[in-house]
Amino acid sequence: MADDAKLSRFIDAVNEDIDSKVAVIINGAETERDSILSDAKSQAEEQASKLYDTNIKRITQKITRQVSQNEFTAKKEILKHREELTEKLFKEVEDRLTEIRRSKDYVDILSKKLALIKIESGSEIALSPDDIHFSEVLKIAIDTDNITFVPDSMIRFGGYSIYNKHNGTIIDKTFDGAIDEQRVLFTNRNIFA
């Protein structure tokens, strides 16, 4: 029995030694496993973070482009609408001037305006071809001799222009010129409003 006890103690000692070596190997394997899992997790998180950042940048750029495109489209539509309103406004002005031209007060308006201007002898007064028949009435309002009235097809809405042959100056009092001038002023004043 003594041999059995020795054998039993030997087996127990060997088993204990094996158990401790197995425990060390298992602990080392578990530590290695935990380290590998930790590294893999860190790499996966880093890759996910990079992918997330890349996607966020890509989405942000796409949204920024879309917002810019929408702003550009909106500004273009606003400018188009503003142009349409401007055209409508000046069309109404032109229609109103046509009405004034057809009224019986029109020749009186021209006469009073011409009477206020010092017109030199030898000057030419240009009228619309439709208004040239008022020339005799308008001559009465002018306190100058040797004035010629000439038709000017460039004058569509009325008024007159006076050409001083002596100094080469022109006084433009046509409604067409006033409309053009006001259109430029209106457009420049309201272009970025």
90-138 pLDDT per residue, tens: 899 888 988 888 888 999 989 998 888 888 888 899 999 999 999 988 8
Q: What is the band of 160 on the pLDDT scale with cuts at 50, 70, 90? A: very high
pLDDT mean over 70-93: 87
Q: What is the band of 192 on the pLDDT scale with cuts at 50, 70, 90? A: low
| pTM of the predicted structure, to 2 decimals | 0.60
pLDDT mean over 14-21: 77
Higher pLDDT, 181 or 2: 181
Instruction: Supply the mean pLDDT for the chain.
Output: 86
pLDDT of res. 149:
92
pLDDT of res. 1:
58
pLDDT of res. 191:
59
Q: What is the band of 142 on the pLDDT scale with cuts at 50, 70, 90? A: confident
Q: Are 152 and 160 in contact (CB under 8 A)?
A: no
How far apart, in whole angstroms, are the C-alpha atoms of residue 78 and residue 63? Answer: 22
- Check whether domain 103-190 has CATH 3.30.2320.30, yes or no: yes
Tell me the domain boundaries of the chain.
Answer: 103-190
CA dist 19 → 25, 95, 185, 192 (Å): 10, 110, 100, 87
pLDDT surpassing 80 at residue 8 = no
Q: Are 167 and 115 in contact (CB under 8 A)?
A: no
- Beta pairing, strands 159-164 & 169-174: antiparallel
User: Token digits for 13?
Assistant: 């000692």
